[in-house]
Amino acid sequence: MEIDLHDFSTFPPPARQACLKRAADLWGMRSLLERTAPSVLALRDTASVALGLVAFGVTLGITISALGFGALPGVAGAPLVYGGSAQLTAVTLIHQGAGLVAVVASAAIVNSRLLLYSASLSERFRDQPVWFRWLAPHFIIDQTYLLSNARPSLDARSFRRYWLSLGSFVLVVWTLAVAVGVLAGPALPDLPYLVFVGTAMFLGMLAPRLVSRPAVAAAVAGGLVAAVVGFISPELGIVCGAVAGVLAGSAERR
């Protein structure tokens, strides 16, 4: 019996049923992949930065513990602040006795780069639902910004799923890492130098960036002003140092 492959109606009933079932299975798999692909990409991307997140988070947790903060505020700060540099700045200043204004201002200065990230992501956020535009900015950090920039082909719907998944996965890894550090801190030997871990972390983040004259000028001016002003008024040391660093770096570029 000859079968016209271009006319589905000429297929025998068993063959038609088999083809329809196969098509339904393929369509279902395609729909499933379309729904899960952004989350799978987000999970894969999170895994690529997980090691660095865990190392930084555990070290930050140990620092929080060494500075005398309790487990609850230390762990709760991880998802609420959602920024290692800002949280490290805040706990260090609070430990030094700085006031609320100085703590908030210093953390804001440290996180000022996120304004540039937000401006860069505005095109991808603009056509999203209102609820997304209110929630999504909380997930803007170095890792999520860089990873999302590597996925320019995602359409609006896929990007929304990807961004929320990525932000959630990174937040979970980060919070767990900080929690491990906070809980492990009391079990570590009572070593005086643990209180300097925070300073060492800042120096570790600063050193790779000292590759130009403006960067060196900003670091030197900021460090000197912060040290001098901090000796007189601990609450204003970092704030004044940050302002001096920005001015020195800008002047060197001219």
Local confidence band at 205 (pLDDT 50, 70, 90 cut-offs): low
Question: Is the per-residue pLDDT at 127 higher than 90?
Answer: no
Residues 6+ apart with CB under 8 A from 144: 163, 166, 167, 170
Question: Is 69 inside any structural domain?
Answer: yes
Q: Are residues 189 and 216 in the same domain?
A: no
Q: Are residues 67 and 110 in the same domain?
A: yes
What integer pLDDT is reported at residue 5 of this predicted model? 43
At what angle are helices 13-66 and 142-149 packed, to 10 degrees?
A: 150
Q: Are residues 104 and 170 in the same domain?
A: yes
| CA dist., res. 68 & res. 191, Å (int) | 13
| CA dist., res. 249 & res. 98, Å (int) | 26
| CA dist., res. 137 & res. 125, Å (int) | 9
What integer pLDDT is reported at residue 176 of this predicted model? 95
Higher-scoring residue by pLDDT: 86, 4: 86
Sign of CA dihedral 81, 84, 88, 89: negative
pLDDT in tens, 76-126: 988 998 888 888 888 888 887 777 887 888 788 778 778 888 888 988 998
Question: Is 248 inside any structural domain?
Answer: yes
What integer pLDDT is reported at residue 135 of this predicted model? 94
pLDDT in tens, 234-245: 656 666 777 777
10 Å Cβ neighbour count for 192?
Answer: 7
| CA dist., res. 175 & res. 57, Å (int) | 7
Indicate the number of domains in the chain: 2
What domain range includes position 106? 35-193
Tokens encoding 144: 């999520």
Q: Are residues 119 and 225 in the same domain?
A: no
Q: Are residues 122 and 221 in the same domain?
A: no
Q: Are residues 184 and 231 in the same domain?
A: no
What does 127-151 look like in DSSP terms, one character per residue? Answer: TS-HHHHHHGGGG-SHHHHHHHHT-
What integer pLDDT is reported at residue 240 of this predicted model? 75
Q: Are residues 248 and 154 in the same domain?
A: no
